[in-house]
């Protein structure tokens, strides 16, 4: 199994392998270009997003700055998605954002993490678990979503929430850790 395969397997791997670092630098160069566009350069932004993101739907708006490890290379974004400024993506494996979803400012999506064992961390190992956000959902400002979490369809995540476990469809959650407040119709 290659290091690239291990990135998506949930197994430990070393992100410092030369091929992985080379790919990451290329993605970050594209992010740099995207983040340094003028607001009037909307067409250039759209072109850069199409290069950066693995699957990008129609009518997707991402307001710079955008921060990421892989520059959206492992992302799937649906149609009619709005992402406010300063989205941070620890996107070392797949992240999915469903259609008609809104993401507030300063949101962090974390697909990569490190082992609890001190020696493995010291050696630089990490592992990744995918993050998935369903359709017609809204993540408020300053939300953090941890690795391995699936957020269902029609979910609202209140501002400043920390999402540590899966969230079912049609719910309002908030808090740290996020808890279900009510069901939505």
Instruction: Tokens for 72, please give them.
Output: 């959206």
Alpha helix locations (H) across the chain?
Answer: 3-7, 18-35, 42-52, 118-122
- What pLDDT, on the 0 to 100 scale, is given for residue 16? 87
Q: Each residue of 66-95: b (16+ CB within 10 Å) or e?
A: bbbbbbbbbbbbbebbebbebbbbbbbbbb
Alpha-carbon distances of 132 from 32, 58, 122, 152, rounded to whole Å: 25, 19, 29, 8
Catalytic residue check, 73? no
DSSP states of 37-63 as a string? Answer: --TT-HHHHHHHHHHH-SEE-SS-EEP
- What pLDDT, on the 0 to 100 scale, is given for residue 66? 96
C-alpha span between 76 and 94 (Å, rounded): 8
Question: Domain extents for the chain?
Answer: 3-183
- What pLDDT, on the 0 to 100 scale, is given for residue 146? 99
CA 24 to chain CA centroid, Å, is 15
Q: Which CATH superfamily is 3-183 part of?
A: Hexapeptide repeat proteins (2.160.10.10)
C-alpha span between 49 and 60 (Å, rounded): 9
Name the catalytic one among 8, 36, 73, 114.
114
DSSP states of 106-128 as a string? Answer: T-EEE-EE--SSHHHHHTT-BEE
- What pLDDT, on the 0 to 100 scale, is given for residue 72? 72
Per-residue pLDDT of the chain (185 residues; tens, 9 = 90+): 777 788 889 999 998 888 888 888 998 999 999 999 999 999 999 999 999 988 999 999 999 999 998 877 778 999 999 999 999 999 999 999 999 999 999 999 999 999 999 999 999 999 999 999 999 999 999 999 999 999 999 999 999 999 999 999 999 999 999 999 999 98
């Amino acid at each position: 199994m290659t290091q690239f395969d291990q990135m998506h397997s949930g197994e430990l791997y070393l992100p410092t392998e030369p091929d992985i670092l080379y790919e990451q630098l290329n993605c970050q160069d594209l992010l740099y270009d995207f983040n340094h566009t003028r607001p009037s350069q909307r067409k250039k932004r759209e072109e850069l997003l199409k290069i950066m993101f693995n699957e990008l739907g129609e009518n997707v708006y991402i307001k710079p700055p955008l921060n990421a490890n892989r520059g959206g290379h492992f992302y799937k974004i649906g149609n009619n998605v709005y992402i406010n400024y300063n989205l941070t993506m620890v996107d070392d494996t797949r992240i999915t954002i469903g259609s008609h979803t809104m993401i507030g400012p300063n949101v962090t999506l974390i697909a990569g993490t490190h082992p609890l064992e001190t020696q493995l961390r010291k050696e630089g190992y990490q592992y990744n678990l995918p993050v998935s956000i369903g359709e017609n959902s809204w993540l408020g400002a300053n939300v953090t979503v941890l690795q391995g979490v699936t957020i269902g369809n029609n979910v609202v995540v209140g501002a400043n929430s920390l999402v540590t476990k899966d969230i079912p469809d049609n719910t309002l959650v908030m808090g740290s850790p996020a808890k279900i407040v009510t069901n939505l119709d």
